Amino acid sequence: MLAVFGPTAAGKSAVIHAAARELGGEIIVADPFQRYRGLEIAADAPSPRERDEVPYHLVGDLDLGASSTAADFARRAEEAIHRITGRGGVPIVAGGTALYLRAALHDLDFRPPPDPAIRDRIEREVAKDLAAAAARLRHADPEGAQSVDSANPRRVARALEALETATGRGTGLWEAPPRRPYLLVAVTRPRAELDRQIASRVAREIHDGLVAEIETALQHPGGLSREAAQIIGVREVMAINAGEIDAEALADRLAARTRRLARKQDTWLRRMRPDATLDLGASPAAESGPRLAAIWREAVE
C-alpha cells in the first residue's frame, strides 16, 4: 500500500489525486472531518469532479449528527483496502490525522468506551479549569502530553480519560504491527511556503461559501456531533454569530488555527519515521503526482 501524511494545506490531496490517476489507485481518506456531509468546504473534501476521476473511500459517509470513532474507521478502512486489493488496485491511505492513518494501517487495540461517569467527571474537570487539567495530564504522561493540544478541551479530556481507564492514551498507536506492507511518504513544504498555502486555502474557502455552509450545518436537527463541531471554522463562525469576534477577523483566526494544526502534524510526522519525503517546495502540488507514483513504483519493483 501507499500511505501519505504531511501538514494540512501542504498539497497532499492534489499530489495523491494525481498519483492515483497514474497508478490506477483508490484513495482511503484518513480524516474524520471529511467523513461529514454538509461541511465539505470546511473539511477541504474532494470535489465531485475529483471523485468522478478517482474512487474515494470514507468521504461524506456520515451525517452531521453522527460520531466518528477511530475504531469504526479502522474497520471500514480495512474493508475498503480488502476490496481494492481484491480487484488489483493500489490502496492509497492519506491523512489527515495520525490516529486515523495508523488505524487504517496497523492492528490497533481498540477497547470499549469508558464508564460514562468517568467521562462526565473528567469533562467537568476540564470545563472548570482547562489549564489545571492540562497540567495534570503533563504530570501523568509527559511524553504523550506533547502531542495533545492543551488549548483544546476535548483533546485534554480524552487523553485524561484514556489514562484513567488504563487503556493508555493511543494504546498500540506506535507499537502495533502493520496489517500489510506499506510505504509511508511525507509530503512537505518549507515553513514560509506552507504558511502562504494556508493563507491561500483560507481565502479560497471563505470565497467558496465557508460561512454559509457552516451556518447551514449549525441548523442540523439535533446539532452537530462532537467530532463535526471540531472542524476548523465551526467554532469561529459561532463566535461571529454570538458577537464575540468581528467577521473581519475570521481569515486571521482560521489561518492561525490551521498553522497550529500543521505544526502539530509535523510533530506526528517525525514520530512516524516516513520511508521517503516529497518536498514540494513552492511548486503546484499536482505537478508532483508523477514523482509520488515513481517513489511507490521504485519501492515495489
Quick: pLDDT tens for 133-154.
999 998 888 767 776 888 889 8
What is residue 287's DSSP assignment? G
- What pLDDT score was predicted for residue 247? 95
- pLDDT higher than threshold 60 for residue 166: no
| Candidate from 82-91, 94-103, 106-115 with smallest mean pLDDT | 106-115
- pLDDT higher than threshold 50 for residue 126: yes
- For residues 266 and 183, state if they share a domain: yes
In a domain, 55, yes or no: yes
Burial of 63 (0-12, 13-18, 19+ CB in 10 A): middle
- pLDDT higher than threshold 60 for residue 168: no
- For residues 18 and 148, state if they share a domain: no
Place of cell 502493520: 178
- What pLDDT score was predicted for residue 142? 79
- For residues 209 and 155, state if they share a domain: no
- For residues 142 and 198, state if they share a domain: no
Contact 110, 118 (CB under 8 A): no
- For residues 154 and 296, state if they share a domain: no
Mean pLDDT of 38-61: 97
| Candidate from 60-74, 133-147, 163-177 with smallest mean pLDDT | 163-177
Instruction: Look at the pTM and tell me if it is higher than 0.85.
Output: no
Contact 92, 26 (CB under 8 A): yes
- pLDDT higher than threshold 60 for residue 185: yes
Distance CA 153, CA 125 (A): 10
- For residues 295 and 148, state if they share a domain: no
- For residues 135 and 276, state if they share a domain: no
- What pLDDT score was predicted for residue 29? 98
In a domain, 172, yes or no: no
- What pLDDT score was predicted for residue 159? 84
- What pLDDT score was predicted for residue 170? 42
- For residues 157 and 293, state if they share a domain: no
- For residues 104 and 123, state if they share a domain: no
Contact 170, 176 (CB under 8 A): no
In a domain, 74, yes or no: yes
Note if the bond before 243 is cis, omega within 30 degrees. no
In a domain, 228, yes or no: yes
- What pLDDT score was predicted for residue 268? 87
- For residues 184 and 296, state if they share a domain: yes
- pLDDT higher than threshold 80 for residue 118: yes
- pLDDT band of 60, cuts 50, 70, 90: very high
- For residues 226 and 280, state if they share a domain: yes
Backbone φ/ψ region at 88: left (φ over 0), alpha (ψ -120 to 50), beta? left
In a domain, 171, yes or no: no
Q: Could you tell me the CATH number of the domain that includes residue 250? A: 3.40.50.300
- pLDDT higher than threshold 60 for residue 275: yes
The domain total for the chain is 2
Domain of 138? 116-164
